[in-house]
Chains A and B, each alone.
Chain A
């Protein structure tokens, strides 16, 4: 008796799926209300992070200079720094979004 014969015997011994006979309805009656994932901690954390970021950077002249040069269309070093920071965050957000969409 080889492996294939043993496996064939085991498959034959398995009775297969059980008939429903009202089981699914009983399960559906037992289901509790679905709990939704709470979204407010995420938004609160994002707001707190943005505020902390602004407070820590508000005093630096680099941010002001970069913002001013950007508005005037000058590609100075501070403006480039700001641009790179924004682009980096946009790439991170894109990566996160793609990862989430793959999961779905």
Chain B
């Protein structure tokens, strides 16, 4: 927690230098500090499409550079960046919405994992069967480590909606991955 607060203070100081002096080196430090997680966020949102994720990440940082005057420190800098990145992702995915729907339908038709070989592969498939908001909430809360409040800020959703999506998403995953628990139980019994 203390580390996180110290990191936030460093980000705040760098952002202030950029805002007041137009310091490009300070902004470069911010890019280096956050590019890894922003690109990881976009790669997950785009289901591993690395090229598009990197294009959107680049767009995210250029927008952050232009709009840094609007960063007032009410959220952590990383959370502010995640929000810009998620907005870029939504804008980009609007164009390919039909394709996305088709993918979702195909994913819905896939059978639920029963006797899977690899739990991680099954989890990946199960994640894709969740609705887009449930996937986004679980990505930001469980994987990127944001609080529900921060996820609500990034995804521009009411806090209650975020909590509901998190609960429903986890409940679905539990149901779909129940076969693993049963298999584990059988292994233990034998």
Contact = CB atoms under 8 A, between A and B. Distances in A.
Contacts of B62: 27, 30-32
Contacts of A30: 58, 62
A3 B123 contact: no
Contact of B40 (A18, A32, A34): A18
Interface stretch (A7-15, A56-64, A73-81, A88-96): A7-15
Q: Interface residues of B: mostly helix, strand, loop or mixed? A: helix
A3 B170 contact: yes
A42 interface: no
Interface string A27-47: 110111011110000000000
A43 to B, nearest CB: 18
B54 interface: yes
A24 B123 contact: no
A23 B54 contact: yes
Contact of B73 (A9, A10, A11, A103): A103
A31 B73 CA distance: 22
A55 interface: no
Interface in B51-109: 54, 57-58, 61-62, 65-66, 69, 72-73
A27 B35 contact: yes
B28 interface: yes
B17 to A, nearest CB: 11
B61 A18 contact: no
A68 to B, nearest CB: 44
A17 B73 contact: no
Contacts of A32: 62, 65-66
A9 B40 contact: no
Interface of B: 16, 20, 22, 24, 27-28, 31-32, 35-37, 39-40, 43-44, 54, 57-58, 61-62, 65-66, 69, 72-73, 119-120, 123-124, 127, 138, 142-144, 170, 173-174, 177-178, 180-181
21 contacts: A1-B180, A3-B174, A6-B142, A6-B170, A9-B177, A10-B138, A13-B124, A15-B43, A17-B37, A18-B35, A20-B32, A24-B28, A24-B35, A27-B61, A28-B24, A28-B31, A30-B58, A34-B65, A35-B66, A37-B69, A104-B20
Given A6-B170, A10-B138, 5 more contacts: A1-B181, A2-B174, A10-B143, A18-B35, A32-B66
